[in-house]
A and B are shown apart, each in its own frame.
Chain A
Amino acid sequence: MSTFLGMPQGRVPGPAADTAVGQLTGDRPFPAAARDALGNTQLRRNLAHATSTIRAKRAAVVGEVPDWEALREAGSAIKADTMARLPELLEQLEANVTARGGTVHWARDAAEANRIVLDLVRATGENEVVKVKSMATQEIGLNEALEGAGITAHETDLAELIVQLGHDKPSHILVPAIHRGRSEIREIFAREMPGVDPGLTDEPAVLAAAARTHLREVFLRAKVAVSGANFGVAETGTLTVVESEGNGRMCLTLPETLITVMGIEKVVPTWRDLEVFLQLLPRSSTGERMNPYTSSWAGVTPGDGPQEFHLVLLDNGRTRALADDLGRTALHCIRCSACLNVCPVYERTGGHAYGSVYPGPIGAVLTPFLTGITGGSDPNDSLPYASSLCGACYDVCPVKINIPDLLVELRAEHTEAHAARHRLPTSEAAAMKAAAWVMADPKRFARVGRAATRGRHGIRQGKPVLPLPPPLSGWTASRDVPSPPAETFRDWWARTRGDRP
């Protein structure tokens, strides 16, 4: 074992994820990146339509399961148990995969994982691979690493193909091209897909048929496949991929060599645990009772499917998250994306504003837990603030991750990290301290409240006569301010009821 996998001692963090390699951070803080997205009317329309459609489908199929809450409890409990004995379960998984003819590799970070996969592909002598949609390989930037070494990676999931052909980035965990409308997809296919019919229309069936024709040739040719994994069963060494299009089944069965990159948190203790997750996942993600394709394999089977199988177990900040009592619960995520679809922030900004491959509410907590909160102006430090704390994410999470609580914790970690590294407080920290000082004493608070009532003379028709400084100007840009009353409640009470016993 070449990676840090000792169980965390107290709150000593493991190594943070690599942000120089892969896609775990953007180049701008969330508010700035969101501003661009909010101004893109096509994006807004595509997102509103897509998220509301999936939301309604999810609500319908979840509503018909009488024991849904019990399933969520079970999912949460299995994940908590898994995290509590992760090293043991991973070693069990390694032993069982190895016993069944597979080879297990341990990758500390993105660069190490990319190097392992690259070496494995090179050893086959091939210069192209087919890929099953995988968040882990997006996270580590595997396609770019392969491309840099002259190896072409063909994404075979329809939405990933759209993203890849469009030289774009995924913006959703489940539906990476959610930000694209069908006319945009037609345009991308017409421009980028080799040998496509130039008379292509934007009918969904026509677009799907074009992708099918294009991919079929790739499937039949490829000798190496790279996948992720939804689950890795420690007890049996079985890997499982859940998908809708059958492209995964093609990749997992046709090539001679299969390389699976799996985050270490994807291990589950027993085969039976899949019973819970295979009910929770499809209903939460695509809003289907059951997903069309669930592929499971263990090691290699002579004469059937890939004859060489490699499992790359990826840390990349996960043991760091594991070391934090709350961060650990972010690792429970099964990547269903239900929280994205109900999030009022995600619905309006889309996924690119988050910078990381993990967008939306879960991304706003998972990403900073993986990369670490710096306390500075790092874009990932802005992610925990990209939420109104409305709580819709927690309500739908199939494994009951309390995302609002995690956001609040990360906000505290951000301000505390800043305070620890800087001599001078930010203006916000100073203002908060001043407010806390005023509010700590009822007499001070009463005086300040009284002073505020006099501030009503400084407001004309909802606008302050003297413009407010940032960030308060963010309020007045689109909202009127209320006019303070002539008398605070406590003064009214003292005046009218003060003598009462």
Chain B
Amino acid sequence: MRIALFVTCLGDVLFPDVARATVAVLERLGHDVVFPEAQTCCGQMHTNTGYQHDAVGLVRHHVDVFEQAMARGCEAVVAPSGSCVGSVRHQHAAVARRSGDEALAVRAEAVAARTFELSELLVDVLGVTDVGAAYPHRVTYHPTCHSLRLLGVGDRPLQLLRAVRGIDLVELPAADSCCGFGGTFSVKNADTSTAMLADKMSAVLATDAEVVTAGDASCLMHIGGGLSRLRTGVRPVHLAEILASTA
């Protein structure tokens, strides 16, 4: 299948390893990955902080770019981020409608219908749970809020992780509690965000895992930023990186 990679702005600039791993997994499974180079950002930060007027242009740009990719034969769009896919699927049309652009809303809905978070694409669209990965480490999985509640990915990431050779997968206590990131919430309400992070870190440490994984680089940046500040020795690794690993 020809698949367009929606790398996300964070994945492009701060976490290219996550994006490269996404490409590696899909190519290993025999798929053709395309990177539409005109893509920039889905505008989630603008939308969620109250700047929908500024987000409209980004929504339009995103729709233009991935409409073209689909016109060139891409059957699906994939992002290694539940949150950015959530924005595409649940916010783009609404942002367009709020600005009075119904035509854009309809186009956004069409792009959204073909856009998938990585675990959704693998399990639902491509029908694989064993991607041939090996990862001999003790790992705990944090289901990020937008993957869990906005997209409803359920246990798809866990199905993928359970099939990884050598992995020691341990359950995270109170897994469905938010880590406290929430985009600009983490700086606008830094104290509350930190209190939430503290509890998430306690849960991670209680598992005695060496790696905490998730389907969102942003939440991992938050959890990892806390774990690193406290020098816990636990490292954040994106789901895509584990699935790409063969060593």
A: residues with CB less than 8 A from B are 30-31, 34-35, 38, 44, 344-345, 348-349, 384-392, 394-395, 405, 408, 411-416, 428-429, 432-433, 435-436, 439-442, 445, 449, 452-453, 462, 471-472, 474-475, 477-482, 484-485, 487-490, 492-494, 497
Contacts and interface: CB of A to CB of B under 8 A. Distances in A.
Contact of B14 (A390, A412, A484): A484
20 contacts: A35-B191, A344-B180, A385-B184, A385-B189, A387-B185, A388-B145, A388-B178, A391-B145, A392-B149, A412-B98, A432-B54, A436-B51, A439-B9, A439-B43, A442-B40, A449-B13, A462-B229, A471-B190, A482-B14, A492-B16
Given A449-B12, A479-B229, A488-B13, A411 B48 contact: yes
B39 interface: yes
Interface string B166-180: 000000000011101
B171 to A, nearest CB: 17
B225 A391 contact: no
Nearest to B220: A482
A484 B15 CA distance: 8
Interface in B1-37: 7, 9, 11-17, 19-20, 35, 37
* The 8 A-B residue pairs with the shortest CB-CB distance in the complex, in nearest-first order: A388-B182, A474-B190, A479-B225, A411-B50, A390-B178, A391-B149, A489-B16, A436-B54
Contacts of A349: 192
A31 B188 contact: yes
B12 A482 contact: no
A408 B45 CA distance: 11
B192 A34 contact: yes
Given A391-B146, A442-B37, A348 B196 contact: yes
B57 A436 contact: yes
A492 B20 contact: yes
Contacts of A412: 50-52, 98
A183 to B, nearest CB: 24
B125 interface: no
Given A390-B149, A412-B52, A432-B54, 15 more contacts: A345-B189, A388-B181, A391-B149, A414-B50, A439-B9, A439-B61, A442-B37, A445-B40, A449-B12, A471-B190, A479-B229, A480-B228, A485-B14, A490-B37, A493-B37
Given A38-B191, A387-B182, A394 B149 contact: yes
A347 to B, nearest CB: 9
Most chain B CB within 10 A, of A35, A385, A477, A497, is at A385
Contact of A471 (B38, B58, B187): B187
B46 interface: yes
A306 to B, nearest CB: 45
B51 A415 contact: yes
Contacts of B188: 31, 385, 471, 474
Given A390-B182, A439-B41, A479-B222, A432 B13 contact: no
B55 interface: yes
A198 B146 CA distance: 53
Contact of B16 (A411, A440, A485, A497): A485
Contacts of A479: 186, 194, 197, 222, 225-226, 228-229
A489 B51 contact: no
Nearest to A39: B191
B186 A474 contact: yes
B162 interface: no
A413 B50 CA distance: 7
Contact of A436 (B12, B55, B146): B55
A334 B195 CA distance: 29
A154 B177 CA distance: 39
A440 B225 contact: no
B58 A440 contact: yes
Nearest to A32: B191
Nearest to B38: A442
Interface string B118-131: 00000000000000
Interface in B207-247: 221-222, 224-226, 228-229
B117 to A, nearest CB: 15
B68 interface: no
Contacts of B35: 489-490, 493, 497
Contacts of B136: none
A34 B189 contact: yes
Contacts of B38: 442
